[in-house]
Structure 1
Amino acid sequence: MNGPYTVGIKPLYGPDTVGIKPLYGPDTVGIKPLYGPDTVGIKPLYGPDTVGIKPLYGPDTVGIKPLYGPDTVGIKPLYGPDTVGIKPLYGPDTVGIKPLYGPDTVGIKPLYGPDTVGIKPLYGPDTVGIKPLYGPDTVGIKPLYGPDTVGIKPLYGPDTVGIKPLYGPDTVGIKPLYGPDTVGIKPLYGPDTVGIKPLYGLAPLRGVKIRD
């Protein structure tokens, strides 16, 4: 894994993040979590600096600009309320929204919203009848950020057999969704993260063997 070695990094989605640095962009002083409290003057982790940008996963987002695409007027959060006319953050403007990380899909629904019948995974191969990773039980769903897994359950939901949530309780033997297999990795968005290193660019924990 390439990137600087950072000790004591704080989770973007957890407690106060004073001096936290974005996982997907340049170092930023005083950046606030996109998924937490008020974010006055917050800068997008996945795009150019934006003044007054509002979190995609928080309160009303009037005039919010997508972090992963061109500026969009009146865009609504992909993971929140109804998304009529919403435009994908990772692709061109589309009617009825298409998958951000995969092939074009007709009638796709947000992974983080209501029931998603016939939705296809954004980060993996096409899947029939896949259910949202962050919703109800998902029988036969395949991980979006790792190797195919039979019977995997939502990362943000109930207990799972074999796989453990990156954003939940202690994750002994869990494998990172955004990188090579790692032993003893700790959740970036969960409990205390002393010495934890992000899966997006930083080096693994000392003594941890990385398997390509």
Structure 2
Amino acid sequence: MEKVIFYILAIIMVAAAIAAVSSRKMLRSVIYLLFVLIGAAGLYFQMDYNFLAAIQLTVYAGGVVVLIIFSVLLIHHIEMKLEVAKKSRQAMSALLCLLGLSVFLATIYAHPFEVAGVSTTTTTAEIGRALLSFEKQGFILPFEVISVLLLSAMIGAIVIAKGGRAIKQPPLQKIDPEKLLKDLKKEVTEEKVPEEEIGV
């Protein structure tokens, strides 16, 4: 049963990842990315890493992706299409993906994985103390890096929401009083109104 769940999650993650990078609509790409992150959390739950799965759901799926979705919804054109990359960039991306996949598979098959005989369980209280610890086994630095990650995601969401459109204002024109007075006199003569009535 565990293998069936693993293969289902793997298929969903691969299909959603391909859809995320191939879709031209920004909102759909973000939704596909959300499925990838939820699938990764499901794998963590399968390995009994409940705390790590919860962090995956809250920080990435619940924090970064939701910020990006809100920023996309703030754009006037929700169905905005992304630009199509050049053929050279597509070929370079495909080549790099194949290179990364080959390195990954070579590393997997080069090192035999053995099941650990002794397993230890860690409580949430111990994890909390380790996250706020300054000692050798402390994780205060990664804990602060997560906050920086969320801050950068918020800044990126604001940049996406702006859309890169600069507001162009017409340049201010200098007012020439003599020209203004001449135009006013011209209008007065055309309308045949006595100049004494307007005080000119």
Larger Rg: 2
- Name the structure, 1 or 2, with higher relative contact order (CA <8 Å, separation 6+): 2
Q: Counting helix residues as a fraction of each chain, which structure ranks higher?
A: 2
Q: Shorter chain as normaliser: what TM range?
A: under 0.3
Give the TM-score taking structure 2 as reference length.
0.21
